[in-house]
Amino acid sequence: MQKKNWLRISLAGFVLVAAVAGTALVQFKGNAVVREHELFVSARASYQTLTDSLMPVIRHHAAFGIYARRLGLAQSFKPGHYVLRPGMNVIEIVRMLKLGVQTPVRVTIQNVRTPAQLAQRLSRQLDADSTAWMAALTSKQLAGEVGFDSVTLFSMFIPDTYEFYWTVSPQDFVHRMKREYDRFWTPERDARRQRSGLSRLEVMTLASIVYEETRKTDEMPRIAGVYINRLRRGIPLQADPTVKYAMQDFALRRILYKHLKYPSPYNTYVNKGLPPSPICMPGKNAIEAVLDFEKHDYIFFCARPTFDGYHNFARTLSEHNRNARAYSAELNRRKIK
């Protein structure tokens, strides 16, 4: 009788151990992800911050804690952008964080006017803060490493969407963008550039002015042609967007005579030729427009009073003055100051 009781107890104990072992196996190797989730772990984050953001989107917390301690995750987790997908288990999650198996992020750069704006844009898409980005974008040493100076470095950035690791350093980002710049300037583009007689920097600078003058892609080559004509004849460009840039007042809707004398190397009313560097990050359409500028004999243009985004072009000052008066009258009628 006692032997039977011992067997029953032994069997019950075996079943219990097996059940516990089975449960543990499920917790370690079973699906631990509640839903697909993007996890961003900053280089400035603590382990507590990591676990606080991770716990709501995974199951089997105890198993995670056990395996994380076993691998020393608290002392060795890697910052980065991680994608947790249903089907992943605790072991895979811990190892991913320990080894830094990141998923790249898509970074879009466009429609910025200054390095400070670019720094802000990048700080919202990548881990480094805006201070670190600004330091890199204005660094003489870093600019020199990629063949620019701290003023002209801004001309190196070609607007597009790129893939980066979220934790990319600002220095590595700049070096990568230099490779993208070199890739953009194909032999074919350089051959077209020679038609204008402009350097790459000058193309980017003129493209930035064209881009600020109009968003109408079909009109960009004609506007580029006006500025090419002025450059070749030694006529000041007299581009209103350069005045806004010089004053750093991008909300100006109407350029008045008092603004035209603003002292700055970027003000093309008081300086002949192109500004020292781009006044914005031009779209690729504007860059292509400068490379394929339209040949004509216009040397003036003025926004149409219809406010449709297009311009009236003129060969003579008298013709241009008529166009300008019509536009000014419409500004007055609409009470735009």
Please give the Cα distance from 75 to 127 (Å, whole number).
20
Nearest to 283 by CA among 228, 213, 225, 227: 213
Q: Is 238 a residue whose pLDDT tops 70?
A: yes
β-pairing, 160-164 vs 105-109, is antiparallel
Which pLDDT score is estimated for 16?
A: 37
Q: How confident is the model at residue 2 (pLDDT cuts 50, 70, 90)?
A: low
Which pLDDT score is estimated for 17?
A: 37
Q: Is 328 a residue whose pLDDT tops 90?
A: no
Per DSSP, helices labelled H in the chain are 2-29, 47-54, 61-70, 73-76, 90-99, 115-123, 130-137, 140-145, 170-184, 187-196, 200-213, 220-233, 240-247, 257-260, 284-291, 317-333
Asked if residue 298 lies in contact with residue 225, where contact means CB atoms within 8 angstroms, the answer is yes
Q: What are the structure tokens assigned to 148, written together?
A: 């620019």
pTM of the model: 0.86
Segment 217-227 shows an average pLDDT of 98
Q: Is 49 a residue whose pLDDT tops 50?
A: yes
To which H or E segment does residue 161 belong? strand 160-164
User: What angle in degrees, to the nearest 10, is found between the helix axes of 200-213 and 240-247?
Assistant: 100
Choosing among 3.40.50, 3.30.1490, 2.60.40, 2.60.120, the CATH entry for 28-99 is 3.30.1490
Query: What residue segments make up the domains of the chain, in order of their start?
Result: 28-99, 105-184, 196-296
The least confident of 23-27, 167-171, 174-178, 232-236 is 23-27
